[in-house]
Amino acid sequence: MNLLLLLANGFEEIEALGTLDLLRRANVAVTTCTLNQTPLTLGAHQIAVEAELCLTELDSTQFDGVILPGGLGGSQALAATQGVLELLREYHQQQKCICAICAAPALVLTEAGILDGRKVTCYPAPEFIEALGDAYCAAPVCTDGNLITAAGPGCFTHFAKAILNAVAPGTAEAVFKAALIEG
């Protein structure tokens, strides 16, 4: 299993890096990819992260799924990038794993048009809930087929666990125990 973690300036650091850390502890291959022309991407709280790949270098066939961290600015940038929307549509059609947290489900997944009858959660801001409409599920994490979504920063462990359960069954408990994370 090889996952792609997309980063755009303004991404929510704990959602991206906390999830990345837990997945890598379980030996899940995750490649970070920025929308920027250079590897450096600046998070919502001014934490700079050097991505391993730029979107312009991406070969989408190398990956089995994608992770979209939230953060308002990052999610807006992802939703405004045609290459990201095309990737999501391609992965949705192929039933590859699509994981989004916080603002990303409401802004990016809706813009990609891939929610057709699915249930997802997001940050519980009224405008995000309204954007999701009937697709909204009021839960910390929601899995519906190949879609895994979570509500926000405080839910990143639930998000990571749901991803692990989907891509590396049986690893979450040991990883969480070793990291001293409850639940």
Q: For 125, phi and psi rounded to 5 degrees?
A: -80, 140
| Active site (annotated) includes residue 142 | no
Rounded to two decimals, what is the model's pTM?
Answer: 0.97
Task: Give per-residue pLDDT as tens, 27-75.
Answer: 999 999 999 999 999 999 999 999 999 999 999 999 999 999 999 999 9
Q: Please pick, among 97, 102, 142, 155, the residue that the annotation labels catalytic.
A: 102
Domains of the chain: 2-178 (3.40.50.880)
Task: Give per-residue pLDDT as tens, 110-160.
Answer: 999 999 999 999 999 999 999 999 999 999 999 999 999 999 999 999 999
